[in-house]
Structure 1
């Protein structure tokens, strides 16, 4: 029986694409103003690697920049993301609040495990009042390895989870479930890739499908 659900944030609960392009364009405009970038904004490349921790993102997008320059870019990008969230330019996926409410009614504990930074996650949780349903939100910043499997393991240990599932759109979420003996539920949403979803135990196209999955797990 599924007693706990651990959700990814970006591309699973939060429609990151609604603020991603805006924030990334702002960031690379800033780099251009500093004479640190002279080409188009690599939005396509960022979409390809969505879901990995931000330090690795900047290693990929800015391979010729120094560590200090990447850190400064990361900080600026975070500022733009948070401002866009607080301005209401982002959005949750359809039915997020309804599904989380249903899970709470069924006494299923809910957690978030994300490769996003803590301040970014706090902005989303605060703006959309997700803490009404979510027990705790965990950022990859809280562990040293930048490995989502280790992050999920820390949640399991803290809350004594024995029967649960990880819900997410990328391979890191699927592996985090499998590495920790949990059910993996892949979300066929914006950033999902077919070859990654094929490794999940179950695949959903809408979060409301979780209600049926949970219903059958209780029987």
Structure 2
């Protein structure tokens, strides 16, 4: 755990989903390979399945931008079909017990809620995906709000977090995530950023600008307990 200065206790914590709460690759990679098998069968894709590291390295982006990177020569119809298939296959995959949260997520969130912290999710994913994970892994009751770009039609996480803060009257929050989009969303909205350095999807500079870095999720408890009241 690293900090760059004194942290102030937040009234709320806003969490990214993929690579922060949820071990995305445990659900995504089986669905990803099945998706391309179907895309080939339907005539939407030719050739090999793009390297899965390309997909993992795109996590945190909007789906529209992910497909431009992963299937750059695909048609708009192929991209829309990829949207549909990936969501369908991932929701089906949630029935598989191998699709898991990071260690200590439920316990840590429960402790934070007991301490009076308001908990939220802000994700660039689709609404059914974000809410599906929260429901399937018993996270939903812990959160006051589950915000997704898919539900609110935001074009950046900055806008999504701004909407969340406004809707819930939050003045002081910690934005917690593993990608540069999370750092940007926190900082552009004047909030503290806690970078999560355990997913391994991004580059070494991905979390530059964070106020603190954690290497396991439960470190949030000690970080919160050691922060100042004001």
**1:13 maps onto 2:30 in alignment:** no
Task: Output the CA distance in 2 between the equivalents of 1:135 and 1:145.
Answer: 19
Name whichever structure is richer in helix by fraction: 1
Taking structure 1 as the reference length, what is the TM-score of the superposition? 0.95
Task: Output the CA distance in 2 between the equivalents of 1:37 and 1:155.
Answer: 38
2:72 to 63, 87, 91: 63
**1:148 maps onto 2:157 in alignment:** yes
Tell me how large the CA RMSD over aligned residues is: 1.4
Contact 1:121 1:137 (C-alpha < 8 Å) held by counterparts: yes
Taking structure 2 as the reference length, what is the TM-score of the superposition? 0.91
Task: Output the CA distance in 2 between the equivalents of 1:48 and 1:204.
Answer: 20
Q: Where in structure 1 do 4 or more consecutive aligned residues deviate above 3 Å? A: 142-145
Q: Give the drift of 1:110.
A: 0.3
Residues 174-195 of structure 1: per-residue CA shift (max 9 Å, x gap): 1100001110110002224320
Q: Which moved more, 1:28-37 or 1:104-113?
A: 28-37
1:111 corresponds to: 120
Task: Output the CA distance in 1 between the equivalents of 2:101 and 2:72.
Answer: 32
2:186 to 177, 181, 206: 177
Residues 75-124 of structure 1: per-residue CA shift (max 9 Å, x gap): 01110011001233310000001110111110000000001100111211
**1:80 maps onto 2:79 in alignment:** no
Matched residue SS, 1:88? coil
**1:139 maps onto 2:148 in alignment:** yes
Matched residue SS, 1:165? strand
Contact 2:45 2:78 (C-alpha < 8 Å) held by counterparts: no
Task: Output the CA distance in 1 between the equivalents of 2:98 and 2:88.
Answer: 14
Task: Output the CA distance in 2 between the equivalents of 1:62 and 1:198.
Answer: 28
1:34 corresponds to: 42
2:5 corresponds to: none
Q: 5+ unaligned residues in a row in structure 2: which ranges?
A: 1-8
Instruction: Give the count of matched residue pairs.
Output: 219
Matched residue SS, 2:94? helix
Q: 1:74 to 1:194 in 2, by over 3 A?
A: same
1:199 to 209, 222, 225: 209
Q: Which moved more, 1:80-89 or 1:175-184?
A: 80-89
1:208 corresponds to: 218
Task: Output the CA distance in 2 between the equivalents of 1:37 and 1:66.
Answer: 9
Q: Give the drift of 1:56.
A: 1.1
